[in-house]
Structure 1
């Protein structure tokens, strides 16, 4: 789902990530875990819309309250019928300490926005970048929930050096990191950090660009490793581009993981993602990643590698078929393009597996197959041993208002 300039049918999202570490790291191997799923109240309708759910909102926890801000959907009619995407500024809060609590309106962002990134910090939820129907944004805000007036208070932080959307973010050691997405509306490779001190006057620092292809809608998480803290960047996609001679270059969907070592300010290729059974590649593009415990990362959600890559490249496949006078192939591609948005949810094969990566042993472990994870553009946050998944897309253009949580044992 390349917002604004790729196929309308690829309407997926962003990932929202939480990373933190409070215990000394260990190098123990992964243990099998189980998830017991439950539901929190559905997210209410944004503005004057019904409860349709949103994609690519800001999500985090402040003062024991789950906050969901912004996001987008198609409230008037489905995208398959020419519906227009609407962006929101609404902020909703849910008290996680009260099992009978319902969502409450807690304010509004300064602008409608989706496709940004957010991280939970001790000071509150930092909301970074994004875009709406008219603008690419570089704004950065801190949302902090007040128990006294039950409102989300907004504090403006240092603006990003460039506008960024479809990016990812993570937080560790009082530092926010952002990577991936578009820069000033074009795919980029930038990597920035900002120290978030109690005075909230930190500035963004340019770090070494990540190598290789651009990565829109990647996942990002921070965790301890054998040589100290590392930042892990995985998945994402590079849309169709032009080479130096103006010829089309196929889109790339990433199926690997890079890591950045803040101590040496260097990037390395960490590992390839293990393939899904019966398939060649796996990606978490449009999915989520959270640091878990003191030595691993949980990755979840996002699109199916093959389905998404085919959709991204269909337009240039059509051009090439026409150039070669391959009319039978062209008709097939046109037919596939028309049908792409109309398949049932199951056809898109969004990721249902919870995958664990151990940052010390470098082993991958599949930790279950859960329908609740089959979302793109959802928000994910880890609170203790509860993994909370907020909204997202069930298929291109179709959101869910559901908020699910898993008790991890």
Structure 2
């Protein structure tokens, strides 16, 4: 029988909260741990869900997104256009108001490339978007420049993107506001096709097996000699029924083919995920759907999303539920910045966002 031991240490470091959760699992399993360090909160005190998040020229960018003004159950969702940049100087962090997006929007797919932070699709208060743009941080002006890029072949919101080499992949998502418009489409764009981002073109790959979906996990990770893509979980709709997906698929670009892998221990809708070393993929939370249809009933009594983390090893094809998160933020991204995992802002329960920015350090990194 497995023995799980938990050690929590709480201290202050340079005026910043440092929370370390160490979780030891015995019975021939390696110890796993996560250290959580709070970085300065997003200047928007409510926080945002669905921001365009990534890095460029050494800074962290958090742009756009949406929230509900307080009291959250009495006000409509508002989209934002503010671009915030977090930079580090001599061990201290500060936020910079670095410009605005062309319009208030969020919930698009994002990937960092040499030309900047590529933002794809999303939505605003009126429609699902096809537009794509690049965000470039200019150190001299202390502003983010917004540059146009070729649009998507079709509108897309709640899709997910990943990069392998010169290719950017965009998987699934919704074409319209309703979940019944979710797709199985896997798009691919070759960055080497042109030096002009407005001339980039998209092509279809073999579609995703299983259900059409949105709010899924999509991560690139190496397996053997191949760079592969892993598409997991999400939400789908079949007639009037909402499906909380736990399936797990591996895509190999070399063969343009999919392979089904062991299901997740739980649904992780909109959970931030990132590739680690040694064939591992870490999912930091997500919504399991338990209270999804009860949000209006529970309101402020909603317990929040499950505080669990999941680790998948694509070599052994095994899952581990190995940690309880300090905070489960969904509809945001996990990105690498300064060699650490960053989870910025996001949603902690229906209609409620958080301005918290967490630096997460897995053991062994």
Q: SS of 2:299's equivalent?
A: helix
Give the distance between the partners of 2:295 and 2:135, measured in 1 at CA: 41
Judged with a 3 Å threshold, the aligned counterparts in structure 2 of structure 1 residues 338 and 395 are, in CA distance, closer, same or farther, namely closer
Answer yes or no: is the 8 Å Cα contact 1:92–1:103 preserved in 2.
Answer: yes
Give the distance between the partners of 1:141 and 1:67, measured in 2 at CA: 14
Equivalent position of 1:293 in the other structure: 277
Runs of 4+ in 1 over 4 A off after TM superposition: none
Equivalent position of 2:337 in the other structure: 383
Give the distance between the partners of 1:76 and 1:264, measured in 2 at CA: 50
Give the distance between the partners of 1:139 and 1:285, measured in 2 at CA: 24
Judged with a 3 Å threshold, the aligned counterparts in structure 2 of structure 1 residues 378 and 183 are, in CA distance, closer, same or farther, namely same
Residue in structure 2 matching 1:63, options 42, 51, 57: 57
Equivalent position of 1:279 in the other structure: none
Give the count of matched residue pairs.
330
Of Structure 1 and Structure 2, the greater strand share is in 2
Residue in structure 2 matching 1:135, options 117, 127, 140: 127
Structure 1: gaps (5+ residues): 1-28, 46-50, 243-247, 275-281, 312-335
Of Structure 1 and Structure 2, the greater helix share is in 1
Structure 2: gaps (5+ residues): 1-27
Equivalent position of 2:3 in the other structure: none
Residue in structure 2 matching 1:225, options 223, 226, 235: 223
Instruction: Give 1:382 shift.
Output: 2.1
Answer yes or no: is the 8 Å Cα contact 1:64–1:97 preserved in 2.
Answer: no
Instruction: Give 1:210 shift.
Output: 0.7
Give the distance between the partners of 1:337 and 1:56, measured in 2 at CA: 19
Greater RCO (CA < 8 Å, at least 6 residues apart): 1
1:53 aligns with 2:47: yes
Alignment map for 1:27-106 (pairs within 5 Å) = 31-45=30-44, 51-78=45-72, 80-81=73-74, 83-106=75-98
Instruction: Give 1:300 shift.
Output: 1.6
Equivalent position of 1:351 in the other structure: 306
1:271 aligns with 2:262: yes
CA offsets per residue over residues 109-151 of structure 1, 9 Å max, x none?
1111111111122332111110010121011111111111111
Q: SS of 1:130's equivalent?
A: strand
- TM-score, normalised relative to structure 2: 0.85
Equivalent position of 1:259 in the other structure: 250
Instruction: Give 1:98 shift.
Output: 4.3
Give the distance between the partners of 1:337 and 1:402, measured in 2 at CA: 22
Alignment map for 1:3-402 (pairs within 5 Å) = 31-45=30-44, 51-78=45-72, 80-81=73-74, 83-185=75-177, 186-197=181-192, 199=195, 200=197, 201-226=199-224, 228-239=226-237, 241-242=238-239, 248=240, 250-274=241-265, 282-308=266-292, 311=293, 339-344=297-302, 347-348=303-304, 350-372=305-327, 374-383=328-337, 385-402=339-356
Answer yes or no: is the 8 Å Cα contact 1:56–1:378 preserved in 2.
Answer: yes
Judged with a 3 Å threshold, the aligned counterparts in structure 2 of structure 1 residues 338 and 118 are, in CA distance, closer, same or farther, namely closer
More deviation in 298-307 or 391-400?
Answer: 298-307
Answer yes or no: is the 8 Å Cα contact 2:62–2:84 preserved in 1.
Answer: yes
Give the distance between the partners of 1:175 and 1:98, measured in 2 at CA: 35
Give the distance between the partners of 2:295 and 2:175, measured in 1 at CA: 28
Equivalent position of 1:404 in the other structure: 358
Q: SS of 1:101's equivalent?
A: strand
Give the distance between the partners of 1:294 and 1:153, measured in 2 at CA: 36
